[in-house]
Every structure is written in C-alpha cells, then in structure tokens.
C-alpha cells in the first residue's frame, strides 16, 4: 500500500514567506507549533534557546526604532558571527543568486536602491506577520547550542507548515542586539539570534513567488572508502 511522503511534501512546500494575511493565529495553535518544535534533537537534552512573542505597543516601538537605527547607519557588535569574513566566492555567488531571486520576484531592479531598501526594512516589521518572535540564546552556550537551536527552528518551520502556516526566519534582527535587549528588558546574557515571522501566507503577493535553488548533491556529499 502506498503512503504519502509527508515529510517530503512539507520540505518541498516550505519557503521563506515575506507577505502575510492579517488573519490572526490562535494562541493555542502557536503554542502547539512551539511544543512540536521542541521535539527536535538536542545534545544532552539541554534544549537551548528561547522564543519571545512580541505584540502591541512593544512590537510597534521596536520595529520603529530598528528601522530608524538602520536608516541612520548605526552599527552594533553582533552577538555571534553568521557570515564568514571574508566571504568565499562560492558562497558569495549563492548569496547574490538568492538576492536576485527575491528582487526579481518583486521586479525591483539592481540599481533601484530605494526599492531594495524598502524591502529590506520590512525585515524589521516582521513582514507584517500576525506573529513576531524574537529568538534568544543564553551567553556561553557554545557552538553546539546554535546547532541544536537551528534544529528546533527547522522543527518550528515544518510544524507551522503542517498546520497551514508560513514562516520566515529574520537574520537582520541579529544586527541590533543591544537595542532589542533594551526594548524587551533582557540582560546581556541573552544573545539575540534572529527573528521569526509566522502567519498565513498571502498567496497573491509577488514576493512569495521567490524561487531559490539548492546545491547539487555532489557539492556536499562524498563517499570514501
């Protein structure tokens, strides 16, 4: 008897969604998704990381101040390094291709600085998703903690997809850790990892038609012996 490959379907359907309907996400559904995310593997079952839902005036003021900081060119020391420095050309090409896919879906030209900046600022508004999460990690956890948290984040994204929701992880938030800690009343031990937008995807939005590619298997898989 043939059975549907549920994981394969979820993995192929999931994408980074940057436009959402205003439909609220029930609190019980959000909690269910977060509980499922915590089923991800974790070394020694330490289960690192925390998810903070921000809403109302707190979210509005944080988004406002993040946009202003970015427009003013303010820079902060990030809590962790995401991109390699310098960026190898092989990775740079992937980065450029990803940007081309995004702005191509929006019909924003390469030299349209205003259009590109406007789209980037939407990161700080969590793409107007009904649910905005800030993801944190306790200082001193070590690199393994980020690996475990990454698995939990992927669990979150797949769990959301299975429930008819969409997500986008927002790395741009990691550029302003001190500002975010100030707004959320967090101490310096709470590292800011990323944000997450979560809600119901707007099927009509051009940005949600963005198509990126993945490496060929031979690029990352080797057989020895």
Report d(CA 83, CA 69) in Å as an integer.
21
Residue with token string 């993801």: 135
Say yes or no to pLDDT of 2 above 80: no
Domains defined for the chain, CATH in brackets:
6-220 (3.40.109.10)
Task: Name the pLDDT band for 72 (thresholds 50, 70, 90).
Answer: very high
Q: What are phi and psi of 168, to 5 degrees?
A: -150, 125
Say yes or no to pLDDT of 70 above 80: yes
Collapsing DSSP states into helix, strand and coil, what is residue 106?
Answer: coil
pLDDT for 118-138, tens place per residue?
A: 999 999 999 999 999 999 999
Which H/E stretch holds residue 119? helix 113-121
Longest alpha-carbon distance in the chain: 61
β-partners of residue 132 are 54, 197
Q: Residues of the chain with pLDDT > 70: what percent?
A: 99
pLDDT for 133-186, tens place per residue?
A: 999 999 999 899 999 999 999 999 999 999 999 999 999 999 999 999 999 999
SS (H, E, C) 52-66: EEECHHHHHHHHHHH
């Amino acid at each position: 008897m043939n059975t549907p490959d549920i994981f394969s379907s979820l993995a192929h359907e999931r994408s980074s969604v940057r436009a959402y309907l205003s439909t609220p996400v029930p609190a019980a559904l959000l909690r269910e998704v977060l509980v499922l995310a915590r089923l991800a593997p974790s070394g020694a079952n330490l289960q690192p990381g925390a998810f903070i839902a921000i809403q109302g005036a707190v979210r509005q003021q944080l988004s406002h101040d993040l946009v202003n900081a970015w427009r003013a060119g303010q820079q902060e020391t990030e809590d962790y390094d995401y991109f390699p420095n310098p960026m190898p050309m092989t990775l740079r090409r992937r980065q450029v291709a990803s940007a081309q896919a995004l702005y191509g879906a929006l019909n924003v030209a390469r030299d349209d600085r205003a259009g590109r900046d406007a789209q980037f600022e939407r990161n700080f508004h969590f793409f107007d998703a009904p649910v905005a999460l800030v993801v944190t990690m306790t200082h001193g956890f070590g690199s393994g903690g980020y690996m475990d948290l990454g698995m939990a984040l992927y669990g979150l994204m797949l769990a959301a997809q299975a429930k008819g929701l969409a997500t986008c992880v927002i790395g741009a938030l990691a550029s302003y850790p001190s500002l975010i800690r100030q707004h959320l009343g967090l101490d310096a031990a709470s590292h800011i990892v990323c944000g997450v937008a979560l809600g119901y995807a707007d099927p009509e939005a051009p940005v949600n038609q963005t198509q990126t590619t993945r490496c060929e298997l031979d690029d990352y898989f080797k057989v020895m012996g």
